[in-house]
Amino acid sequence: MDEWKRLVCSFRNAYEGIIRTFKEEKNMRIHGWMGLLVLLVSLWAELSWTQILILLFIILSVFVLELINTAIEATVDLTTQDFHPLAKKAKDAGAGAVLLAALFSVLIAFTILSHPLILKVSQFHFFLYTNILPTAWGKSAFLLIFLFLFYLLYRLRIWKGKKETYLVLIFLVSTLLFIFSGLPFFQAAGFFLPIVVNIFMRRGKPFVYAWLELLVIFLALNLLAFLIIRPYM
């Protein structure tokens, strides 16, 4: 009975460690939201269960390494409060492991999702452009959406600040890209553009620097998408 209680207690402690890491570590929450977004997109793109399991595995691998990195940082902070080269080496190595896993997971997710997502976005664009926008109620709904967005832009410009104004402008541009662009990759870029820019801006970086960093990532993804899509063209 005591062994059973110890087993239950160990599971409870592990659960508390995971929850505490999600609450205290910002990077863990970012990984969580991005992983949830990838899983939702994979379900929408109708991937096979094998592909979904692969995505789930790489997402969990990033979570596991983030937990290990948090444990390393806590142990180092408990051991010494002063700067030490070995303490820095341990923390940098843990952070490097998480970074490599995150980059590899992004590459795998993009490779798996690129073609199904492009097909889905193209089908949605064709349906929207042929069945929704030509109708009177479709044009009215589209006009109401843009009027609401411009009203939101005005309110944010008056009451909040430049950051929210930029985000609304980016959302307007991305909406135009998503609806009217005939290129599937630019439609996908219009969908993910506000999310990526918001992440960069929440990191406290200036807007211009965030755009330059986003431009480099956009060009790299564009080249990678061309290499992946080329066999299907």
The answer to whether the CB of 188 falls within 8 A of the CB of 114 is no
Residues 23 and 72 in one domain: yes
Give domain status of residue 122, yes or no: no
pTM here is: 0.59
Confidence tier at 232 by pLDDT (50, 70, 90): very low
**Integer CA distances (angstroms), 228 to 125, 181, 189, 193, in order:** 21, 20, 16, 20
66 carries an active-site annotation: yes
173 and 74 in a common domain: no
Domain boundary among 55, 87, 114: 114
pLDDT band of 41, cuts 50, 70, 90: confident
pLDDT for 100-109, tens place per residue?
888 888 888 8
Q: Is residue 31 part of a domain?
A: yes
Look at residue 124 and tell me if it is in a domain: no
Decide if 123 is inside a domain: no
Q: Residue 152 falls within a domain, yes or no?
A: yes
- Residue 9: give the domain boundaries: 1-114
Q: What is the pLDDT of residues 152-207, one digit of tens each?
A: 655 555 445 555 555 556 665 665 555 555 555 555 555 566 556 655 555 555 55
Active-site pick, 3, 16, 25, 66: 66
Per-residue pLDDT at 85 exceeds 50: yes
Other Cβ atoms less than 10 A from the Cβ of 8: the count is: 10
Structural domains counted in the chain: 2
Same domain (yes/no): 186, 85:
no
Helix ranges (DSSP H) in the chain: 2-24, 26-44, 49-79, 85-127, 136-159, 162-180, 184-202, 207-229
Higher-scoring residue by pLDDT: 53, 137: 53
